[in-house]
Structure 1
Amino acid sequence: MSAHEERVLNTVKYTIKELPEDERPRERLVQFGAGALSSAELLAILLRTGTPEMTAVQLAQHLLTTMGSLRAIANAKPAELAQVKGIGVAKAAQLLAAVELGRRIALEQMGEQPAITRPDDVYALLHAQLRDEKQEHVVVLLLNTKNRVMRQTTVTKGTLDASLLHPREVFREAVRHSASSIILAHNHPSGDPTPSNEDIQITRRLHQAGQIMGIDLLDHVILGDGRWVSLKAQGVF
């Protein structure tokens, strides 16, 4: 921790406005740019206020310590963040709104990149987001006619189960956003991307549904630890 961060965290005052002007995160951002701020300071700007016991920066550091990482904060449910002392529902909503904006910006930038044409393109897009997840996350990528990502949506979390993952859940957003095709992806927390019988059955069911709806399922990519498996390449459909 830098001397500056230590001074900020050790202050006994309770609001950002009471900090010395050169140590207020907002003023530092304006003067030096966002890249000069620590993660706790950036979070403090989003949180806006602290508690009677903690400044906004101290609260931000407490949140980081409790959750373990920025990635964990980004992937948390609103109720999980709200349970952290000093956060509550309103601050949880502020944080997750900022996270979602960041994800949408990333997707817009992805739209300017070459189209997704290979399974390793899917892996490159999603592995950092899903690699530390302890549950399976099923993600649908909505593509335009040039195979560029229009939108990314998570349709379910937990064990991939054919009885729970209905085609309407997968294709709802595709219809809403007039997607030309979709790619399904999910992680295997074990690190082994070998498809299960359930994975194969679900893929075939979704492929058939896509044919009926006129929205192609281009691939189903399973992400593991440094590896991936394309069910399309394996001839599953």
Structure 2
Amino acid sequence: MNRDKQLMMKELPETERPREKMLEKGVKSLSNAELLAILLRTGTKNLPVNRLAEQLLVKYELAALGNISPQELSKTSGIGLVKAVTVLAGIELGFRLSRKEPEERPVIKSPSDAACLMMAELRYQTKEHFIALLLSTKNHVIARAMVSVGSLNASIVHPRELFREAICYSAAAVILVHNHPSGDPTPSQEDISLTKQLVEAGNILNISVLDHVIIGDGKYVSFKEKGII
């Protein structure tokens, strides 16, 4: 039986395998069904794990899953008690994270706050990492979204990728942060053009782009401080 399940998973196209997709594109790229499929691990002989996850989300809305017992969930075909416990534990962990008090989250009061938050993570990266700090109405950091990872000196950023994350987290505003592997945070013309494009897109969606901070080796440049935005 286990061998049949593994073969069924291998027969899925690469793009439909949630584990492979997560490793290639990051956890943020996965749908709710794909995340659930990873927790489920396997489907049944006649039902791939992705389809089992989709059927669960049709039967129960995501929020409702957290309010049922493992015993009730395990009555679903293809989900035993162990799977039910694993799924509900993962969902509860997500709920607890979402209920964290704002005081526990970093607050961005100035460009230096954003730079300090990201400096250690970005200053020694050998590729450009473009990250969005997603903020609440009081500038608490709700989440840090990895928008793109580029080559030695270029990252590819599409407005839809950035604002999809902002909308997903119900962010009121964003601060853009990326690094220059050269160590020199001086903005390029491409950085400036991209920032203006993202600011315009944010205005349409009513999600403010408050700043763009470029991280170098122990130093940074803020577009807000420079008057670029």
**8 Å Cα contact 2:130-2:148 kept in structure 1:** yes
In structure 2, the residue matched to 1:126 is 118
In structure 2, the residue matched to 1:232 is 224
**8 Å Cα contact 2:214-2:222 kept in structure 1:** yes
What TM-score, normalized to structure 2?
A: 0.54
Q: How does 1:17-166 map to 2 (within 5 A)?
A: 78=23, 111-112=103-104, 115-159=107-151, 164-166=156-158
AA matched with 1:128? A
**8 Å Cα contact 2:105-2:142 kept in structure 1:** no
Query: Any runs of at least 4 consecutive aligned residues in structure 1 with deviations exceeding 6 A, and if so which?
Result: none
Q: Following the alignment from structure 1 to structure 2, what is the Cα–Cα distance between the partners of residues 161 and 136?
A: 6
Pairing partner for 2:175 from 173, 177, 183:
183
Q: Following the alignment from structure 1 to structure 2, what is the Cα–Cα distance between the partners of residues 183 and 174?
A: 11
Which region of structure 1 is more displaced relative to structure 2, 227-236 or 217-226? 227-236
CA-based RMSD:
2.6
SS at match of 2:164: helix
Over 3 Å counting, the alpha-carbon distance change for 1:115 and 1:209 in structure 2 is same
In structure 2, the residue matched to 1:209 is 201
**8 Å Cα contact 1:141-1:153 kept in structure 2:** yes
SS at match of 1:145: coil
Deviation string for 1:44-93 (max 9, x for gaps)? xxxxxxxxxxxxxxxxxxxxxxxxxxxxxxxxx947xxxxxxxxxxxxx9
SS at match of 2:209: strand
In structure 2, the residue matched to 1:34 is none
Is 1:197 aligned to 2:210, yes or no?
A: no
AA matched with 2:167? V
AA matched with 1:124? C
**8 Å Cα contact 1:143-1:180 kept in structure 2:** yes
Is 1:218 aligned to 2:210, yes or no?
A: yes
SS at match of 2:186: coil
SS at match of 1:178: coil
Gaps of 5+ in 1: 1-76, 80-92, 94-100
**8 Å Cα contact 1:139-1:186 kept in structure 2:** yes
Is 1:171 aligned to 2:185, yes or no?
A: no
SS at match of 1:232: coil
Q: Following the alignment from structure 2 to structure 1, what is the Cα–Cα distance between the partners of residues 163 and 225?
A: 22
SS at match of 1:184: strand
SS at match of 1:123: helix
**8 Å Cα contact 2:131-2:176 kept in structure 1:** yes
Deviation at 1:156, TM superposition (A): 0.5
**8 Å Cα contact 1:111-1:149 kept in structure 2:** no
Deviation at 1:110, TM superposition (A): 8.1
- Identity over aligned residues, as a percent? 49
Gaps of 5+ in 2: 1-21, 25-37, 39-92
Aligned length: 136
**8 Å Cα contact 2:111-2:222 kept in structure 1:** yes
